[in-house]
């Protein structure tokens, strides 16, 4: 039984691709996003000459940061942290902490898996015990239980293992690796919702990258994948995919590809040239009202905020900061602006400011993408992860 994701309407795919286009022109440190480049290259779409230029700028920036040359201009504020430097340190850390079996890696298992995958597609051999740590985590899955994140995390681990299996980089561990891939598949299948998503709508692209083109005895896999594809299609039509990072994880799936295909990328595959979308600005003057509350802050906060219909949660926070005593701070990330501090309280280590729709439903999107509905109550809550 094979996991297949049959082609979807090319117009729908193109619309997703068009959302990435403006980003190819934003070349500031803050906006550069390697995921976008990877997503496009593995898709059926291309951005023409802008792609090569984007890669060039990516390389320049990352090499500079790798070498630790501070970019000497005023725009390089603290936000533009040397994230490739972090990655380099991270790679060193991968080697440095390999004897530590238990305990969390320095970042998260998601990034640990991503790190192994990135090295693997470059055909760099890692010490067995570096791989062993991820194997151990999948074998004893309490380590991966960051509830809503487990599908993303497990899928990323599975992609790393699939690459290692195909490249045979750690032959001594091949049996454990093969077994772990099958464990990951089971976990993802078990996480399928009644609608068909694996985990939630936004973990489904990575989950499908892993499952796609794999096979399993029985008949479960093929059916599960067709159902997931249908769920994805419905979500695409609903306009659920706004976030460029998620789009960049989805486009490869719609082209039958996964990150593992980067082992030997198919540079000659024809890709359709994207044209910018024609925006029709919405004309609504309608106002909606959203209740914003932070019950557990030093000074509990609760106010009704008015914004135009279609405004993002970030617009609500801005308005609240302008007009009421609300304060917040964000930090840019590849997924967009991440809420770091609320009412003067920094999230701090292993904690984060969770976004919820009252009473208790965590939002599936960040502040820039989520658009509250009229009459809704949004709560910000400091929780551990
Ligand atoms: Co999260 N998260 N997350 N997350 N997270 C994911 C990005 C994803 C895709 C998971 C999912 O639902 N399938 C969704 C986003 C969907 C979308 O964009 N449409 C998601 C969501 C919804 C959230 C929350 C909004 C949930 C909520 O509160 N209701 C909050 C963020 C709230 C806020 O702004 N304060 C949230 C929180 C977290 C925690 C548990 C804190 C950890 C991050 C802590 C840490 O690792 N130090 C977390 C993780 C690990 C992830 C995960 C699994 C990996 C991110 C990563 O490491 N990327 C992704 C899965 C995925 O991407 N498919 C989900 C790799 C590195 C190289 O990229 O940009 O440097 P990076 O990574 C940073 C950002 O991704 C940031 O933390 C990372 C580490 O610093 N971050 C952000 C993590 N989650 C989110 C979510 C948003 C919206 C933003 C802007 C930033």
Measuring CA to CA, which residue among 157, 250, 244, 240 is closest to residue 195? Answer: 240
For residues 142 and 284, the model is more confident at: 284
Distance 364 CA to ligand 1 centre (A): 10
Predicted local distance difference test score (pLDDT) of residue 55 = 83
- Structural domain spans, the chain: 10-273, 287-384
Write the pLDDT tens digit of every residue in 204-219.
Answer: 999 999 999 888 887 8
Residue 46 forms beta bridges with which residues? 273
Residue 132: in which H helix or E strand, if any? helix 128-139
236: tokens are: 């695409």
- Taking domain 287-384, whether its CATH number is 3.40.50.12280 is answered by no
Cis previous bond, 359, omega within 30 = yes
Lowest mean pLDDT among 102-116, 154-168, 170-184: 102-116
Residue 292 forms beta bridges with which residues? 303, 378
294: tokens are: 């932070």
Query: Whole-angstrom Cα distance, residue 313 to residue 354?
Result: 13
For the cut 50, the answer to whether the pLDDT of residue 122 exceeds it is: yes
For the cut 90, the answer to whether the pLDDT of residue 283 exceeds it is: no
Measured from the CA of 385, which atom of ligand 1 is nearest?
Answer: 40
The residue-averaged pLDDT of 84-101 equals 41
Interface predicted TM-score (ipTM) of this complex, two decimals: 0.99
The residue-averaged pLDDT of 287-297 equals 94
Predicted local distance difference test score (pLDDT) of residue 267 = 76
Measured from the CA of 151, which atom of ligand 1 is nearest?
Answer: 13
Write the pLDDT tens digit of every residue in 37-91.
Answer: 888 888 999 998 888 888 888 778 777 776 664 444 444 444 344 444 445 434 4
- Testing ligand 1's pocket by substitution, the residue of 335, 341, 349, 371 carrying the most ligand atoms inside 8 A of its CB is 335
Query: Whole-angstrom Cα distance, residue 197 to residue 211?
Result: 13
Measuring CA to CA, which residue among 81, 35, 75, 82 is closest to residue 54? Answer: 35
Distance 335 CA to ligand 1 centre (A): 7
User: DSSP assignment of 52-86, as one string?
Assistant: HHHHHHHHHHHHHHHTT----STT--TTS--HHHH
Measured from the CA of 205, which atom of ligand 1 is nearest?
Answer: 63
Fold (CATH) for 10-273: Glycosyltransferase (1.50.10)
For residues 183 and 64, the model is more confident at: 183
The burial class, CB within 10 Å (0-12 / 13-18 / 19+), for 257 is: buried
Residues with CB under 6 A from ligand 1: 107-108, 110-111, 114, 146, 148-149, 152-153, 199-200, 202-203, 206, 243, 246, 333-339, 352-355, 362-367, 369, 385
């Amino acid at each position: 039984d094979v996991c297949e994701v049959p082609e979807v309407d090319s117009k729908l795919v193109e619309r997703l691709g068009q959302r990435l286009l403006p980003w190819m022109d934003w070349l500031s440190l803050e906006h550069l996003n390697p995921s976008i480049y990877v997503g496009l290259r593995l898709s059926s779409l291309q951005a023409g000459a802008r792609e090569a230029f984007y890669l060039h700028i990516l390389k320049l920036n990352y090499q500079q940061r790798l070498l630790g040359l501070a970019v000497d201009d005023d725009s390089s504020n603290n936000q533009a942290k040397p994230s490739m430097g972090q990655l380099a340190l991270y790679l060193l850390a991968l080697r440095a902490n390999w004897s530590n079996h238990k305990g969390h890696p320095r970042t998260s298992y998601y990034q640990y898996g991503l790190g192994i995958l990135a090295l693997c597609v470059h055909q760099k051999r890692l010490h067995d015990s570096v791989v062993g740590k991820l194997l151990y985590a999948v074998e004893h899955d309490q380590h991966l239980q960051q509830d809503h994140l487990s599908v993303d995390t497990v899928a990323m681990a599975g992609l790393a293992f699939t690459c290692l299996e195909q490249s045979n980089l750690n032959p001594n561990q091949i049996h454990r690796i093969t077994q772990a891939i099958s464990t990951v598949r089971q976990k993802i299948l078990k996480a399928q919702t009644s609608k068909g998503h694996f985990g939630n709508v936004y973990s489904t692209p990575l989950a499908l990258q892993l499952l796609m083109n794999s096979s399993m005895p029985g008949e479960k896999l093929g059916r599960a994948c067709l159902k997931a594809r249908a769920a994805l299609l419905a979500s695409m039509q609903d306009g659920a995919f706004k976030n460029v990072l998620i789009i960049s994880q989805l486009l490869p799936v719609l082209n039958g590809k996964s990150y593992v295909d980067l082992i030997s990328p198919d540079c000659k595959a024809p890709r359709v040239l994207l044209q910018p979308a024609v925006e029709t600005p919405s004309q609504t003057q309608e106002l909606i009202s959203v209740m914003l509350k932070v019950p557990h802050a030093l000074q509990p906060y609760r106010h009704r905020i008015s914004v135009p219909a279609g405004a993002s949660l970030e617009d609500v926070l801005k308005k609240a900061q302008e007009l009421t005593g609300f304060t917040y701070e964000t930090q840019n990330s590849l997924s967009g602006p991440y809420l770091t501090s609320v009412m003067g309280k920094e999230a701090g280590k292993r904690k984060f400011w969770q976004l919820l729709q009252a009473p208790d439903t965590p939002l599936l999107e960040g502040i820039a993408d989520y658009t509250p509905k009229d009459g809704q109550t949004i709560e910000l809550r400091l929780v551990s992860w």
